[in-house]
A and B are shown apart, each in its own frame.
Chain A
Amino acid sequence: MLPRRGRTPEEPAAFEKGFNVTTQPVVELTGITVEFPPVTALAGVDFRLYPGEIHALMGENGAGKSTLIKALTGVYQTSSGTITVDGAEQRFSGPGDARAHGISTVYQEVNLCGNLTVAENIMLGAAEPRVLGGLHWRKMRRLAAQHLERMGLDIDPGSSLDSHSLAVQQLVAICRATVGDCKVLILDEPTSSLDADEVESLFAVMRRLKADGVAILFVSHFLDQVYAVSDRMTVLRNGGLVGEWATADLPAGELVKHMIGRSAQVLESVERGHDAVRPDAGEPRLQAIGLGRKGSIQPYDLDVYPGEVVGLAGLLGSGRTELARLLTGADRADSGGTVVEGAPRKLHTPRAAMAQGIAYTSEDRKGEGIVDGLTVRENIVLALQAERGWVRPLPRRQVDEIVAKYIDQLGIRPADPEALLRNLSGGNQQKVLLARWLATAPKLLVLDEPTRGIDVGAKAEIQKLVSELAGEGMSVVFISAELEEVLRLSHRIAVLRDRKVVATVDAEGTTTDQVVELIARGNVAEGDAA
């Protein structure tokens, strides 16, 4: 199904460079398959982790990174494949069992008790010292202080965890994970909520642990960080293994290509869905000037013209979604402003944006899109009705007309207005969401990952719809993890990297290679940027 490039005969020299080949991997996964019928989340993935290395696990959204971690720590049962730890085959019953065998995991969200002290958080449940059946509090503080010192953390073990910054809490979580016999430390996106200095102190701790011989499995969406700290990387895509490389041997551009899949040549041949020339209409429909939000996205400028599709390209966590949320009032900007058709407008709530004809479908379809307990009909008219207020219900006949129109136009199945939305497939739920916004006749439609997780047919239909809407004069901001899709649908593309818009380029004449380069490096290759 996928190119299995890992450990082909011509490659071993590359990835084993700098490692003692005679060293036994501390963890070795062979042919791991995890299935959630009918979906295969991981298909025959091999993975090895050596003592004293920092190994980055790379892949886009849904590539199977977390699944691999959960298979290793026993959260998920594997349907085939073996897990070997220190040469002995293991099958863990859960994270606790894995931890007892020296494999600790620290997740992105800090899973600690903020109301307890640092010392309690580090020691409790792991190796708390006891005396006469009770806790030996003094000894516990002393031991905790030792562990903190080992990590280079200078904080009072008796202080409550809440009183520290998120970064320190994250380090405390790591400290907790390394108490006892820790051979393998899994860090699942530990840096996503940290700023640059905090990341540095985390890296210092990671390097220290590495020097102690701990094997670290590191997951991050920030390429810079991966290159700064990792020794080797394993790339997954769509639940399959792409390969394993020494970090030094894999340029960022190559890595991004491996993560996204499809070589540039294949992408080149994809036909553009509509006229690539940007419609020439004087006044932008929406202008964002220095729009930004601290900790979410750095201030950016963006113009969207009538009839134009602006694509946002970037890896997960690059700020694609955050950019869109500021444009649509889903989040409140703390700097900059927006101009709608020449007039400055505040878009501080979704309602305010709607009043300006701006509609937004969230990438989180279940959490922020559909109202699953309501019917197709109610979901479609929800935004329109909300705009009118509860006092003036839409006449039933008009509702039926609107609903029938969109069920027909978008091919929503089952074509039953009274079906509960939770009983529809993902693709059809997405269509209902689109219908909800199209019913409000927006001038600017912001679509965040509208094609993710839906079947190929529905995907093509939605792409076609976007093209048609733009042809009718609607402005569209289109976000997708698939570069191919963004390039094909957009007139212009804003490229994001590490929560910053790094370039805006015309889609016409831009190759996927160039976009990949922009995503990977953050600068323009041949000066062909707009």
Chain B
Amino acid sequence: MRQALRHHLFWPVAALVVLVVANTIAKPSFLQVSVIDGHLFGAPIDILRAAAPLLLIALGMTLVIATRGIDLSVGAVVAVSGAVALEYISASPDPGSPVTVLVAVAIALGLSLLLGLWNGFLVTVLGIQPIIATLILMTAGRGVAMLITGGFITTVTSEPYKGLNSGFFLGLPSAVWIAVGLFVIVAVTVRRTALGMLLEATGINPAASRLAGVRSRTLTWTVYAAAGLFAGLAGILVSADTMAADANNAGIFIELDAILAVVIGGTALSGGKFNLSGTFAGVLVIATLERTVTVLGISPHVTPLFMALVVVTVTLLQSPRVRERFAVAALRRRPVSDVARGGAAQVSDDGAGAPASPGTEAPGPDIEQAPVPDAEPSAAPDDEKEVTR
């Protein structure tokens, strides 16, 4: 049980279960999925479909965050990508032809990739802090999208394009196939190749990684490019859903939702260790939460507040410090006889103290270094200062 509690997927999955249970109580048919015309329908399918763009963006965001970075521009890229695709289609003589749609998608994805490369260039070559570097495109990107749409909300009719989101394939909406498919492919690639390990090494200790010969710069650049590309794909899904190129509102605040999903999934914003499965769960939590608001009939006025409360709870439960407090409190509450039972108490003590301790800095010297009288006492604080110079 203790191990399950410590697993990174525990809290996001627990939150998901709680949400689903709450929904099912409010609306017993919540989990019901029906088959109409060979297509699956129902709340879970809707949630998955709505979550598709966020899933793609959170995928890129997780990788970027693993390198100690962040990408605030993905929402703007969503807008640009959707605007470019729809403008191309509306300007073409034959909006309904699959070829037109294919070209539109290719242009949109190509441009998104370029925007991602631009971010990567700012971060890796010019050395601008990621939050600033991507903030540039976050603001500028919407402007570019406005330029493309000419300030109008262009609505387009193109069945093949619409089908990219709401079409069905083997019973599931195509948006779900695209997003989940890509997510799984990337997640598998990252762990089957050495990409995951090298990204984590870069995120945890860039200096050591460089000395070990890791191409940190290329890796980081690649990751920003990928984040741009995934955001572009998300933009296509978003615009295919509304069939309107809305430069102002497409993908608005989606970057914040994505960061949230990453954090709920247990990847620290400080970079390093990341887990995509956690991000997946985090995305589902956010998407389900949005659905819950409607199911529970919560007034739109308090919706943001409600969502914030849930998110705060989950993130607090994910925090090592809070968990440590809980563990200590749990230990104190235990009856004395239990604690006094030696062996058993010892085990529980370890369990409570150990998980948090590796991360926390021991005050002063490294405890593991034995105080050998004549050895260089590098453990002395004097040394720390001199080494870091």
Residues of A in contact with B (beta carbons under 8 Å apart): 1, 36, 38-41, 60-67, 70, 76, 108, 192, 238-239, 316, 330, 350-351, 354, 360, 362-364, 366-374, 378, 382-383, 385-394, 420, 422-427, 436, 451-456, 459, 481-482
Contacts and interface: CB of A to CB of B under 8 A. Distances in A.
A426 B368 contact: yes
Contacts of A481: 376
Interface stretch (B89-97, B135-143, B152-160, B358-366): B358-366
Given A38-B370, A368-B205, 9 more contacts: A39-B371, A66-B381, A360-B211, A372-B204, A389-B194, A390-B198, A420-B358, A456-B372, A456-B374
Contacts of B213: 350-351, 354, 383, 386-387
B207 A368 contact: yes
Given A61-B386, A350-B213, A38 B376 contact: no
Nearest to B366: A426
A423 to B, nearest CB: 6
B377 A453 contact: yes
- Shortest beta-carbon contacts, A-B, top 3: A453-B378, A36-B364, A425-B368
Given A383-B212, A453-B377, A374 B193 contact: no
B382 A454 contact: no
9 contacts: A39-B364, A40-B371, A41-B382, A61-B376, A67-B380, A238-B376, A373-B272, A382-B209, A426-B368
Contacts of A424: 368
Contact of B382 (A66, A370, A394, A420): A66
A394 B194 contact: yes
B201 A378 contact: yes
A368 B272 contact: no
Contacts of A367: 205, 207-208, 387-388
A64 to B, nearest CB: 6
Which among B358, B369, B371, B381 has the highest number of chain A CB atoms within 10 Å?
B381
A1 B205 contact: no
Nearest to B354: A423
A350 B210 contact: yes
A483 B215 CA distance: 36
Contacts of B388: 364, 367
Contact of A39 (B215, B380, B385): B380
Given A61-B386, A350-B211, A371 B369 contact: no
Contacts of A238: 373-374, 376-377
Contact of B367 (A38, A41, A192, A360): A38
Given A350-B212, A360-B211, A453 B369 contact: yes
Interface residues of B, number: 49
Given A62-B383, A350-B212, A378 B197 contact: yes
Contact of B194 (A366, A390, A453): A390
B212 A482 contact: no
Given A76-B381, A367-B208, A425 B389 contact: no
Interface string B204-243: 1101111111110001000000000000000000000000
B257 interface: no
A420 B365 CA distance: 19
Nearest to B201: A371
A39 B214 contact: no
B49 interface: no
A149 B195 CA distance: 59
Contacts of A62: 376-378, 380, 382-383, 386
Contacts of B382: 41, 61-67
B242 to A, nearest CB: 37
Which among B193, B213, B215, B386 has the highest number of chain A CB atoms within 10 Å?
B213
A495 B213 CA distance: 29
A384 to B, nearest CB: 9
A393 B200 contact: no
